[in-house]
């Protein structure tokens, strides 16, 4: 599994990545690539991210309420999804909110390894549809916000999985601690791409092998307008 990461002062899996040990200072913000062997059991993954409409059904059926509700579903109005956006990916949910939905649905979040394999297939492609970027196959931000999860049928992965590039970053079941901070790995990129500084969070559509380290601080800060999720499940 080959993974791309943009060098940050917070490291990657470790606070100081083994790639840097004994090699001196490496300039921040440049990309690095590393690879590792992984084993993936048989699994299924949802064709699309969880939508506003699906999350609303979950809330009605389960009565779920987060422990800390600051910024929870901030984009909704009077407890309902914005009109006409029922098929857009649900955002403003933190990792625990996503896990709660997955558990209610009898599923789980995909690991980052499962997510990448689902997006990339077994031929090492750069984007879900091939090796060349094509803005017509994903939400590249021109819409000014999220788009329906089935809006780009030509952007599917080799396994027919949709919306794995742009639109929203996606939570994966990858919570770790580097001994200093808790974090999770998020995948896919988003419609929003902040400009003007290398210190801003990575945005825009991202290659299938690109991973970002998301520091887990507090639910009210972890929830974002550019971060959603999809579910997965084990197969016998």
Q: How confident is the model at residue 200 (pLDDT cuts 50, 70, 90)?
A: confident
Residue 128: CATH number of its domain: 3.90.1580.10
- Name the phi and psi angles at 222, rounded to 5: -70, -25
Q: How confident is the model at residue 13 (pLDDT cuts 50, 70, 90)?
A: confident
* Distance from C-alpha of 94 to C-alpha of 229, rounded to nearest angstrom: 9
Residue-level pLDDT at 179 = 79
In contact, 201 and 194? CB cutoff 8 Å: yes
Q: Is residue 156 part of a domain?
A: yes
Q: Is residue 2 part of a domain?
A: no
Q: Is residue 108 part of a domain?
A: yes
Highest mean pLDDT among 8-22, 83-97, 185-199, 200-214: 83-97
Number of Cβ within a 10 Å radius of residue 50: 23
The helix (H) or strand (E) run that includes residue 52 is: helix 52-62
DSSP string spanning 141-203? STTSS---TTS-GGG--TT-----SBS-EEE-S--EE-SS-EEEEEESB-S----S-TTSPP-
Instruction: List all residues 6 or more positions away from 214 whose beta carbon is below 8 Å from its beta carbon.
Output: 169, 183, 184, 185, 186, 222, 227
Number of Cβ within a 10 Å radius of residue 10: 13
pLDDT at 31 over 90: no
Q: Is residue 92 part of a domain?
A: yes
Least confident of 14-18, 32-36, 42-46: 14-18
Structural domain boundaries enclosing 190: 44-236
Q: Is residue 121 part of a domain?
A: yes
Q: Collapse the DSSP code of 100 into the 3-class scheme (helix H, G, I; strand E, B; otherwise coil) and give the result.
A: helix
* Distance from C-alpha of 66 to C-alpha of 150, rounded to nearest angstrom: 28
Q: Which residue has the tokens 């396994």?
A: 159
Closest CA to 229 of 171, 190, 149: 171
Structure tokens at 139: 């939400």
Q: Is residue 38 part of a domain?
A: no
- Name the phi and psi angles at 172, rounded to 5: -125, 160
Strand-pair partners of 89:
51
Q: Is residue 223 part of a domain?
A: yes
Total structural domains in the chain?
1
* Distance from C-alpha of 208 to C-alpha of 126, rounded to nearest angstrom: 6
The mean pLDDT of 60-81, rounded to a whole number, is 96
Q: Is residue 137 part of a domain?
A: yes
The mean pLDDT of 31-48, rounded to a whole number, is 92
């Amino acid at each position: 599994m080959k993974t791309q990461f943009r060098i940050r002062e917070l490291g990657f899996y470790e606070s100081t990545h083994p790639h840097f040990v004994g090699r001196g200072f490496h300039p921040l913000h440049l990309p690095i690539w590393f690879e590792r062997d992984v084993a993936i059991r048989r699994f299924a993954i949802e064709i699309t991210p969880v939508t506003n409409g699906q999350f609303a059904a979950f809330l009605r059926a389960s009565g779920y309420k987060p422990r800390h509700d600051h910024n929870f579903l901030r984009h909704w109005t009077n407890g309902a999804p914005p009109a006409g956006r029922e098929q857009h990916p649900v955002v403003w949910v933190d990792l625990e909110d996503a896990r709660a939905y997955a558990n209610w649905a009898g599923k789980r979040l995909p690991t980052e390894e499962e997510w990448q394999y689902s997006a990339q297939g077994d031929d090492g492609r750069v984007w879900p549809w091939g090796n060349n970027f094509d803005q017509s196959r994903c939400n590249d931000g021109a819409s000014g916000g999220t788009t329906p999860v089935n809006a780009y049928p030509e952007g599917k992965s080799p396994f027919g999985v949709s919306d794995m590039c742009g639109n929203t970053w996606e939570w994966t079941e990858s919570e770790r601690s580097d001994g200093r901070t808790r974090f999770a790995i998020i995948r896919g990129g988003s419609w929003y791409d902040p400009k003007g500084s290398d210190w801003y969070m990575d945005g825009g559509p991202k290659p299938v092998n690109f991973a970002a380290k998301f520091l887990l601080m507090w639910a009210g800060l972890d929830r974002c307008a550019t971060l959603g999720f999809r579910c997965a499940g084990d197969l016998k």
